[in-house]
Amino acid sequence: MIHQKRRQELLSLIEDSALVIVCTNSELQRNADVTFPFRPDSSFWYLTGFMEPDAIAVFSKNNYSIFLRPKDKTKEIWNGKRLGVDAAPEALLANNAYSIEEFSEQLETLIDDESVLYYDNNSTNILAQDIASADNIKTLLPHLSEMRLLKDEIEIKNMQTSADLAAAAHTQAMTKVKPGMFEYEIAALFDAEFKRNNSTHAYTPIVAGGANACVLHYIENNEALEDGDLLLIDAGCETVGYASDITRTFPINGRFSEAQKQIYSIVLDAQKAAIDCLKPGGPVNHAHETACETITKGLTELGIISEDLPLNEFYMHNTGHWLGLDVHDCGQYKLRDEHRQFEPGMVMTVEPGIYIRKNDKIDPKYWNIGIRIEDDVLITESGNTVLTHSLVKEIDDIEHLMNGSL
């Protein structure tokens, strides 16, 4: 019923004569006759709840038709069950269901002279090219993105589950890491924890020891973990389609050095100050500005920032992004050229960092320290809730956990 409600809400935002067309993805070939694990298009899933590839939904205020793969005994023996045309109307609360092969033919009967076509033009389904030349066509993106930006109770529950699973995996990593292990051994802990809970990765995990943490999107995850280095892990879970996105940085041997503590404390202070900015009515850019101010002050006091080495040498990404069905979820950050304000139901990551590569102008004790701390934050009526609060991030708590005393 939730998907039906979402379709009705979307239709209420556009013309009475609107005909909406949304497509899911096709399976993608990995190599030879092997495909990647299938994942439906996020907007299609949001509006239909249907998880099979090669499907198109067409709906208006008076009709909902679904086009999908027909039943095929041989293919189902080899590749698994299909819902099929006959069962689709009841299962998906549709008025009509057709084979995907009939899309071009049936679309002509669904469009009349007054129809305004709304098309999810981010779809990759090649079958949807039938409508590319149609007259009076508009994009769904502005309306659908705004809907997906504000999470309902079901979505928040799913995101909390996703956050809890990711936090549990990060906790395992902290308790099991030892010098001499390899990054991929720690990555395997996340594989197992997510799979054990019928979930998967929301994105390719970053498991970066030592200097690798200074590479923002390091994904090789294949080097040995050295005593005295830090380990940065950026890994999130996807469950029921919804993503979590968590980063923690901690000492491989269980104890921060003094230099590591100094940099970590600056990042943690920046993150806490940024999280405080996430509340209804607050401009979305204030969190980043606040984090930058905190990091600048801290690194200047340590003599790291100078005229020759400005902030962007050490902190070169934004402080957060929307989170939902996509790890970098849809939704505008500005409205009419002005930074928008936070509203209840929005979920944003908060992830400041400092990355100090080897540089003769910097004290060597800080070289190759890369630290990022990231949490997922829900905007509420009264302020915010950190969905990932169960995962430790204070220096003392991390050390106690890693040394068996928490």
The verdict on whether 321 is a catalytic residue reads yes
Q: How far apart are CA 149 and CA 322, in angstroms?
A: 8
Residue 170 is among the residues annotated as catalytic for this protein: no
Q: Are strands 116-119 and 137-139 parallel, antiparallel or unpaired?
A: parallel
Catalytic residue among 7, 82, 201, 321: 321
Active-site entry in 238, 355, 375, 399: 355
| 213 token code pair | 């943490």
Active site residue 7: no
Place 145 in a pLDDT band, splitting at 50, 70 and 90: very high
State yes or no: is 184 an active-site residue: no
Phi, psi for 57 (deg, rounded to 5): -105, 135
Q: Which of 351, 375, 376, 399 is catalytic?
A: 351
Residue 144 and residue 155 share a domain: no
pLDDT for the residue numbered 127 = 47
289 is catalytic: no
- Does 143 lie in the same domain as 154? no
Which of 100, 122, 148 is where one domain is finished? 148
**Residues 171, 89 share a domain:** no
Domain that holds residue 185: 150-402
186 shares its domain with 255: yes
The 10s digit of each residue's pLDDT in 217-272 is 999 999 999 999 999 999 999 999 999 999 999 999 999 999 999 999 999 999 99
Q: Which of 93, 121, 148 is the last residue of a domain?
A: 148
The structure tokens 């995850």 sit at 221
Higher pLDDT, 125 or 345: 345
Is 326 annotated in the active site?
no
What is the chain's length?
406
Q: Does one domain contain both 142 and 155? A: no
216 and 229 part of one domain: yes
| Domain final residue, candidates 89, 119, 148 | 148
Same domain, 118 and 21: yes
- Integer Rg of the chain from CA: 24
Confidence of residue 136 (pLDDT cuts 50, 70, 90): confident
329 carries an active-site annotation: no
Annotated catalytic residue, options 41, 52, 193, 374: 374
Whether 144 and 209 share a structural domain: no
| Of 33, 307, 338, 360, catalytic | 33
- For the entire predicted model, the pTM comes to 0.96
Which band of pLDDT confidence, cut at 50, 70 and 90, is reported for residue 135? low
Our answer to whether residue 3 is catalytic in this structure is: no
Q: With 0-12 CB in 10 A as exposed, 13-18 as middle and 19+ as buried, what is 217?
A: exposed
Amino acid 122: pLDDT: 59
**Which residue of the set 317, 340, 357, 389 is catalytic?**
317
Looking at the DSSP assignment, which residues form a beta bridge with residue 249? 232
Give helix then strand counts, H and E, for the chain: 11, 21
Look at residue 131 and tell me whether its pLDDT is greater than 70.
no
We report the CATH number of the domain holding residue 334 as: 3.90.230.10
pLDDT level of residue 84 (50, 70, 90 thresholds): very high
Q: pLDDT digit string (tens) for 165-184? A: 999 999 999 999 999 999 99
- Reported confidence tier of residue 115, pLDDT bands at 50, 70, 90: confident
Q: What is the SS3 assignment for 371? A: strand
In the residue annotation, 264 being an active-site residue is answered as: no
Both 116 and 183 in one domain: the answer is: no
Q: Point out the catalytic residue in the list 41, 234, 313, 376.
A: 234
Rounded Cα distance between 256 and 229, Å, is 9
Give the count of domains, the chain: 2
